[in-house]
Amino acid sequence: MTVTESRTEHHVDTREALLDAAEALFSEHGIQASSLRMITHQAGANLAAVHYHFGSKEGLVRAVFARRLQPLQEERFRLLEACDLSGGVEGKGVEQVIHAFVAPLIRRMRETPDGAHAFAQLMGRVFSEPSEDVRSMLIQELKPSADRFVDALRQLLPHLADKELMWRFQFLAGGMGHTVSCQKMVARFSEGVCGGDPDEMLRYLVTFMASGLRAPATAEPDLQGEPA
């Protein structure tokens, strides 16, 4: 009740309240562990309201993602189009593309702590989501964006074979996803040192990932330095 806040009179919009409550609870406890009873209670709505507005729990899950993912992707595209890809591996384009990919998520974490922040945490987590429904929805929603970013990186890093290029994009996405979705764990592992400021994290992340992306192509096996 206190968490959602919005409805002081009675209900501003039950549908939105349900989405807010579901987002917060999904990110806090996971999708599976968030019951419709918890969600409707936190939203100040009736249990049956979920089925009226979204048809099922699955429909609610889809709606929670769609609401945030579309504007996020649009912002990523806008930033990507503003990147200067002409400088190649030595130009600032590498940093710019990473920034375009990560910053929209970080910005939302900073600006709406109890909305997008929860969503960012959920986004990172949901990649290892066991439900095939959620998985295929994510692919459908994110694949076009991922492809465009890989295309941009291909222009910047033409010396890389496609396979290595795609792996590097995965390392970038994974590093971002981990730090965003596992913030509590990260903070506990670093004893609080890596808590707090998302913008600081973003700067460190851009430095690290840009250097990783710029690395020379990996040589064929046996040149690999393995201890002992």
Partner DNA sequence: GTCTATATAGCGATAGAC
Partner DNA sequence: GTCTATCGCTATATAGAC
Report if residue 133 touches DNA, rule: CB under 7 A: no
Binding-site size for a second copy (CB under 8 A) equals 79
Minimal distance in Å, beta carbon 6 to a second copy?
A: 24
Report if residue 48 touches DNA, rule: CB under 7 A: yes
- Interaction with DNA in 106-125: which residues (CB under 7 A)? none
d(C-alpha 100, C-alpha 112), whole Å? 19
Q: Which is nearer to DNA, 53 or 107 (CB)?
A: 53
In 10 A of CB 68, how many CB atoms?
20
177 binds, among DNA, a second copy, none (CB under 5 to 8 A by kind): a second copy
Minimal distance in Å, beta carbon 171 to a second copy?
A: 4
Q: Which one of the spans 41-49, 79-87, 175-183, 217-225 is the region binding DNA (CB under 7 A)?
A: 41-49
Cα 27–Cα 33–Cα 34 angle in degrees, nearest 5: 65
70 binds, among DNA, a second copy, none (CB under 5 to 8 A by kind): none
Nearest to 36 by CA among 16, 11, 61, 12: 61
Among 6, 29, 48, 158, binds a second copy (CB under 8 A): 29
Inter-residue contact 120 to 180 (CB < 8 Å) = yes
Minimal distance in Å, beta carbon 122 to DNA?
A: 16
- Interaction with a second copy in 32-91: which residues (CB under 8 A)? 32-33, 79, 82-84
Q: Which is nearer to DNA, 34 or 179 (CB)?
A: 34
Per-residue burial over 28-52, b = 16 or more CB atoms within 10 Å of its CB, e = otherwise: eeebeebebeebbebbbbeeebbee
Query: Which residue shows structure tokens 């990649």?
Result: 127
d(C-alpha 92, C-alpha 156), whole Å? 10
